[in-house]
Amino acid sequence: MSLSKVGMLLTAIAIGISLSSLVPAQEPPPSPSSPPSPTYKVDVNVVNVLATVRDHDGHIVANLAKDDFILEEDGKQQEIRYFSRQTDLPLTIGLLVDTSMSQLRLIEDERDASYQFLDQVLRPNRDQAFVIKFDFEAELLQDLTKSTDLLQKALNALKAPLQLRRSGNRSEDPVQPGLVFAQWPGGMPGGRRGGGRRGTYPGQQGSQRGGTVMYDAVYLASDEILRTEQGRKAIILVTDGVDQGSKVKEKEATDAAHRADALIYSIRYYDSSAYSSSPFGGAGSTGAKALRTLSQETGGRMFEVGKKLTLKEIYDQVQEELRNQYNIGYTPSDTGGKEFRHIKLRTKDGKLEVVTRAGYYPRQP
């Protein structure tokens, strides 16, 4: 071994990175018969982009190559250094289910379809998921787990506040005890990993007060759980899209998902009868816009349960997308500039639609 290679090896050992990351770009590529999934390391300034491509009929296109894509960051074209199809990276899913009073008649269907989805999409001993329910508070029913049995137990605990009051003491519920997040922008104490507590949100008069803290749930799932996870990350948000009482705004929730590199798949499940006599009036009809924004910004999609698609059929489509994502990595040519950097990914075939996140926040050193 030459002295130069010995020096490279000793340097790699000293700073804790693999020797493979020191291989020059002109090394011959691996055999196409068994391409390895790229590994992205925190100590290397690589931006990871997951993308789904569809044709004009809405069908997924899964046979593109690296040279079929054009990638830009803040208007400057970037060199795609890593590329793979149908990525084998571990998948972490956060299932966020609206259990407010407007969803009372829908919860049973949400519970059954959600379990079937998780049971099908999670690969044994490889992928993991967690479950959060939200109404006037966001409650972690099941922390990160690879166990479908534990996820089923958490889904069985999905109940609206009225159902909980009718059943009496919460200690009778299947999951014991739920963890209510108390970590907020601005320094509220607590948090999932720092002593989360049960109780009402700051400013609330008691647990009988109504509300749907959708943005809080997205923020907390992203910032408290997904941000430190590696691999692919997705939030499945099942709700009518109406937010009442969140401490954070839409942008803060979206930014948290960006920082966690999490895609948001929004599923709008809307019970119009729940709003006919509600003091919120027609608020339920505005939820689609909010969900569409969350999904488009983060690279997911917004679906709507209705005559055209059942919840089960929507979950099937989400599962198809998660199994047919392009995994693209690049090192930005410009390390300065704005805090949030905009990404534009397209194909040379202008007839194809590429769905990916709008941008990212650079990792802090």
Q: Is the dihedral of CA 96, 126, 86, 315 positive or negative?
A: negative
pLDDT given at position 306? 92
Angle between helices 107-121 and 311-322 (to 10 degrees): 30
pLDDT band for position 59 (cuts 50, 70, 90): very high
Q: Is 30's pLDDT higher than 70?
A: no
Q: Which of 50, 12, 41, 10 is nearest to 321 (CA)?
A: 50
CB atoms within 10 A of CB 86: 11
Over residues 317-328, the mean pLDDT reads 94
Angle between helices 107-121 and 148-156 (to 10 degrees): 170
Domains of the chain: 91-322 (3.40.50.410)
Q: How far is CA 37 from CA 32, 87, 200, 301, 328, in A?
A: 12, 6, 44, 24, 10
pLDDT given at position 239? 94
pTM for the model stands at 0.77
The gap from C-alpha 316 to its chain's centroid, in whole angstroms, comes to 17
pLDDT given at position 287? 86
Over residues 8-32, the mean pLDDT reads 38
Q: Is 299's pLDDT higher than 80?
A: yes
pLDDT given at position 65? 96
Q: pLDDT digits over 191-248, tens only? A: 444 333 333 333 333 333 457 999 999 999 999 999 999 999 999 999 999 999 999 9
Give the rounded percent of residues in the chain with a pLDDT score beyond 90.
Answer: 59
Q: pLDDT digits over 118-165, tens only? A: 999 999 989 999 999 999 999 999 999 999 999 999 999 998 776 554
Residues with Cβ within 8 Å of residue 255, at least 6 apart in sequence: 340, 361
pLDDT band for position 283 (cuts 50, 70, 90): low
The gap from C-alpha 111 to its chain's centroid, in whole angstroms, comes to 19
